[in-house]
Amino acid sequence: MTKNYHNEAAEEMEMFAEKECNKCELTKPLNKFYKRSPIHPNDYEIYRRPVCKACTRKVNHDYANQPEVVAARKQRLIDMRDELEDYRLGVVVSNLPTHKICRSCEIDQPLTNYALAATADYHRHVCMKCTTAQRNRYHKTPKGIKALARRRARSRQQYEERD
């Protein structure tokens, strides 16, 4: 469920309102500024960021393309890939834990009870037993039954196309 931070009257007023960007100092219509959450959840006033969308995109693009930021991002990816490869080869990595607590059943279990995932410790947050139980519960709901039927039909169709 999404929160409704404004009402129709405020939205109508916003269509004609303008605001000055703090970065480029140009006056632009409010729809050229990203929305931001109100300070108090019961506020219905529409809040806008102080910098326009164009300037925000430029700042984000410039930051993301700085040589030191790009190099750090590449190095993080290389380190993660190397650690994951070491883990798959069975090399003991000293900074990785050997146990973790399942977020569903809250039991401390060895990492072998968790599926691999792209997380900090390379394992899902829910153990395989809880994952199976969640999946089985989902497939008993009307939405799950429809999803399972669609997946089976798609699989059957792909199998028939191969012949």
User: What pLDDT is stored for residue 109 in this prediction?
Assistant: 92
| Dihedral sign, Cα of residue 29, residue 34, residue 38, residue 42 | positive
**CATH pick for 97-163 out of 3.30.60, 2.40.10, 3.40.50, 3.30.1220:** 3.30.60
**CATH topology of 8-63 equal to that of 97-163?**
yes
pLDDT tens by residue, the chain, 163 residues: 444 545 565 566 666 788 889 999 999 988 888 887 766 666 555 678 889 999 999 998 988 888 898 888 888 888 878 777 776 666 655 666 788 999 999 999 998 899 888 777 778 899 999 999 999 999 899 999 999 899 999 988 888 887 6
Tally of CB atoms within 10 A around 130: 20
User: What pLDDT is stored for residue 132 in this prediction?
Assistant: 94
Q: What is the pLDDT of residues 66-106, one digit of tens each?
A: 889 888 888 888 887 877 777 666 665 566 678 899 999 99
DSSP conformational letter for 24: T
Tally of CB atoms within 10 A around 21: 19
Whole-number CA gyration radius for the chain? 25
User: What pLDDT is stored for residue 158 in this prediction?
Assistant: 85
CA 29 to chain centroid, in Å, comes to 30
- What single string gives the DSSP state of each residue in 34-64? EEE--SSTT--SPEEEEEEHHHHHHHHHHHH
Q: How far apart are CA 137 and CA 78, in angstroms?
A: 38
Residue ranges of domains in the chain? 8-63, 66-95, 97-163
User: What pLDDT is stored for residue 121 in this prediction?
Assistant: 76
**CATH pick for 8-63 out of 3.40.50.300, 3.30.720.110, 3.90.1300.10, 3.30.60.130:** 3.30.60.130
Q: How far apart are CA 84 and CA 119, in angstroms?
A: 10
Q: How far apart are CA 131 and CA 99, in angstroms?
A: 17
